[in-house]
Chains A and B, each alone.
Chain A
């Protein structure tokens, strides 16, 4: 029983008229997994989530929830709960009535519904607010009511569509942890849509990166970080974004000449055919300040920005190179710096296809 995946999508296609919003989506989500869908705006994350909920019909493919084919099944029979970006709380109902709405529809006894609501209110910190109307709550409190309304149902899956994007930065970080902690306790299968890769990386067990209706790559968060399948994923995952520099594999096959001033040479940690054009990917956090022989490349600094704990050094040029240094540094704008990077941290991509080599 537990062996079967909770959500199984095979060859899902979705058209809006002539617009192809989802292309051949294949995704398997195990019971109890927390999956994040990330991607830039308009890539089809919400469309996929809403299709799962039954709020959009799919044009092709098979959608299974808990082993049952869900194609064409109306939302109310799918037994999934969704937390909307707008929260979609019922404005004319108190928090208590919002929470118990689904139970009242099922004609559960009032005492049972209220007991369940009290329990959910305790886990979400809403005990004192049960009599209020949604408009009398703060953004964070509304968010909790939306969560509570989902939790009370014990659904087969939770669907979240950017639930934190209306909150301020500090509250967002806090709610992120709270949602993850809640998930660790309830172990309910969750699909979480966000355009914020940090949210995805920190919350999810499994991250799905989408672009223009296509799944570009999926896997454990650090796997995507360590082994991006292509330049899009490499650039999307990680902050600040990976630096990309054109280069040519040198005579030895294990190094590359970079298209930067002075044409520096770096080791790429793999053997490729000499003379091949590649795009080299260097994560800002793996570039280290170095001097003398250790420095593989030299750049002149255009800006230095420090948050106190981290310093961002950038060299505006074609291409721009960003370096992240822990703590502070005495490097100043205008300085010439030497940089080194371990060969195993160098990524190589095919410039034509963008695929990792």
Chain B
């Protein structure tokens, strides 16, 4: 008994207890639902069997059903466009801002702090504000674009099938840019200044310094930002609910919204779970890429 207590006090037992607590937490709140979700995707689920776990297994029937939905491919295409365009926009603008804020001008740290505002706002609120900005008749965006002469006639962002997905993408880029910027700023700050000085003396201009020093030194950070971005965009739901509700005519429907629609509007939990499983697979791929990119980290 004494041995147990002392091992607890002297580290090893304590370590195990800490890890155990974390694992237990993860298991109950993430592991079990995950497994439950996967199991459900292989079962026939309806309103009556929802309360029991003993439901008939139907093999890949749910998957076949989901794949043969007429909007399956459009939704997948929308999801890919949404993820790629959102991450691309957030990353490029976030990186640009991060680089901009490395120029230490008066008030730069406060200004950078202000960017975090977008991050603390709930998605539904952001969606509501963007609804006004994007409004076809009185929206500020149309006003600006026509004023600059970029477009002739007002665009009905939310109700035009050609633009509805992009309306959500624009709002999502705005929402995620500050997160990208902060993470990339931290990465930039950890690159020693004298490397840039050495490179400048070696004859590198600003562009060459960016390509040969900044980018390779930022590899791990960029990997982290993009894979976290993938997870955040795949779970972005509020903006769809607030701006387009997946419409019109599913033109802005994406996997995560579709899954919710199946489960909680059509009460077809099996199909909802099936789409979730497909998304889990995608996130797993991203996680592997992320872990690999940090493993190759080179510093100092």
Please report A residues at the B interface, Cβ cutoff 8 Å.
53-55, 74-76, 78, 80-82, 84, 86, 88-92, 101-102, 105-106, 133, 135, 149, 153
Query: By the criterion CB–CB under 8 Å, are A86 and B192 in contact?
Result: yes
| A-B interface, 8 closest residue pairs, ranked by CB to CB distance from nearest | A88-B194, A88-B198, A102-B202, A75-B200, A92-B216, A92-B298, A76-B203, A105-B203
Contacts A101-B204, A153-B202 known; list 13 others, CB within 8 Å: A53-B201, A54-B201, A75-B197, A75-B201, A76-B201, A84-B194, A84-B197, A84-B198, A90-B199, A91-B195, A105-B212, A133-B298, A149-B198
For B195, list chain A residues within 8 Å (CB).
88, 90-91
For B213, list chain A residues within 8 Å (CB).
90
The reply on B217 being an interface residue by CB < 8 A is yes
The reply on B299 being an interface residue by CB < 8 A is yes
For B203, list chain A residues within 8 Å (CB).
76, 102, 105-106
Q: Closest CB-CB distance, A270 to chain B, in whole Å?
A: 49
Query: By the criterion CB–CB under 8 Å, are B212 and A74 in contact?
Result: no
Q: Closest CB-CB distance, A153 to chain B, in whole Å?
A: 7
For A84, list chain B residues within 8 Å (CB).
194, 197-198
The reply on B205 being an interface residue by CB < 8 A is yes
Given contacts A92-B216, A92-B217, A74 and B300 within 8 Å (CB-CB)? no
The reply on B208 being an interface residue by CB < 8 A is yes
A81 to B203, CA, bound (A): 10
Contact-size category for B: 20 to 34
Question: Looking across the interface, which residue of chain B has its beta carbon closest to that of A101?
Answer: B202
Question: Looking across the interface, which residue of chain A has its beta carbon closest to that of B299?
Answer: A91
Question: Looking across the interface, which residue of chain B has its beta carbon closest to that of A133?
Answer: B298
A102 to B205, CA, bound (A): 11
Enumerate B166-200 residues with CB–CB distance to A below 8 Å: 192, 194-195, 197-200
For A149, list chain B residues within 8 Å (CB).
198, 202
Interface centre among B198, B204, B217, B299, by most chain A C-beta atoms within 10 angstroms, is B198
For A90, list chain B residues within 8 Å (CB).
195, 198-199, 212-213
Query: By the criterion CB–CB under 8 Å, are B201 and A135 in contact?
Result: no
Q: Which of B201, B216, B219, B298 contacts A82 (CB 8 A)?
A: B201
Q: Closest CB-CB distance, B193 to chain A, in whole Å?
A: 9
For A135, list chain B residues within 8 Å (CB).
298-300
Given contacts A88-B194, A88-B195, A80 and B300 within 8 Å (CB-CB)? no
Query: By the criterion CB–CB under 8 Å, are B204 and A105 in contact?
Result: yes
Query: By the criterion CB–CB under 8 Å, are B201 and A80 in contact?
Result: yes
Query: By the criterion CB–CB under 8 Å, are A91 and B197 in contact?
Result: no
A101 to B201, CA, bound (A): 11
What are 23 of the A-B contact pairs (CB < 8 Å)? A54-B200, A55-B200, A75-B200, A75-B201, A76-B202, A76-B205, A78-B201, A81-B201, A84-B194, A84-B198, A86-B194, A88-B195, A90-B198, A90-B199, A91-B195, A91-B217, A101-B199, A101-B212, A105-B203, A106-B203, A135-B299, A135-B300, A153-B202
For B205, list chain A residues within 8 Å (CB).
76
Query: By the criterion CB–CB under 8 Å, are A76 and B192 in contact?
Result: no
Enumerate B198-247 residues with CB–CB distance to A below 8 Å: 198-205, 208, 212-213, 216-217, 219
For B212, list chain A residues within 8 Å (CB).
90, 101, 105
Query: By the criterion CB–CB under 8 Å, are B198 and A105 in contact?
Result: no
For B217, list chain A residues within 8 Å (CB).
91-92
Interface centre among B192, B201, B298, by most chain A C-beta atoms within 10 angstroms, is B201
Query: By the criterion CB–CB under 8 Å, are A82 and B300 in contact?
Result: no
For A106, list chain B residues within 8 Å (CB).
203
A105 to B206, CA, bound (A): 12
A101 to B208, CA, bound (A): 11
Given contacts A86-B192, A91-B217, A133-B298, A105 and B197 within 8 Å (CB-CB)? no
Given contacts A81-B201, A101-B202, A91 and B208 within 8 Å (CB-CB)? no
Enumerate B253-300 residues with CB–CB distance to A below 8 Å: 298-300
A80 to B201, CA, bound (A): 7
Interface centre among B199, B200, B202, B217, by most chain A C-beta atoms within 10 angstroms, is B202
Q: Closest CB-CB distance, B223 to chain A, in whole Å?
A: 14
For A78, list chain B residues within 8 Å (CB).
201
For A133, list chain B residues within 8 Å (CB).
298
Q: Closest CB-CB distance, B243 to chain A, in whole Å?
A: 42
A82 to B136, CA, bound (A): 59
For B192, list chain A residues within 8 Å (CB).
86, 88
Question: Looking across the interface, which residue of chain B has its beta carbon closest to that of A81?
Answer: B201
A55 to B201, CA, bound (A): 9
A90 to B214, CA, bound (A): 11
A323 to B294, CA, bound (A): 60
Q: Which of B197, B202, B298, B299 contacts A55 (CB 8 A)?
A: B197
Q: Closest CB-CB distance, B172 to chain A, in whole Å?
A: 32
For B194, list chain A residues within 8 Å (CB).
84, 86, 88
A102 to B209, CA, bound (A): 11
Q: Closest CB-CB distance, B198 to chain A, in whole Å?
A: 4
Q: Closest CB-CB distance, B67 to chain A, in whole Å?
A: 44
Given contacts A90-B195, A91-B217, A105 and B299 within 8 Å (CB-CB)? no
Q: Closest CB-CB distance, A338 to chain B, in whole Å?
A: 55
A91 to B219, CA, bound (A): 13
Given contacts A91-B299, A92-B216, A105 and B208 within 8 Å (CB-CB)? yes
Interface centre among A78, A80, A101, A133, by most chain B C-beta atoms within 10 angstroms, is A101
For A54, list chain B residues within 8 Å (CB).
200-201
For B299, list chain A residues within 8 Å (CB).
91, 135
Query: By the criterion CB–CB under 8 Å, are A74 and B298 in contact?
Result: no
Question: Looking across the interface, which residue of chain B has its beta carbon closest to that of A153?
Answer: B202
For A92, list chain B residues within 8 Å (CB).
216-217, 219, 298
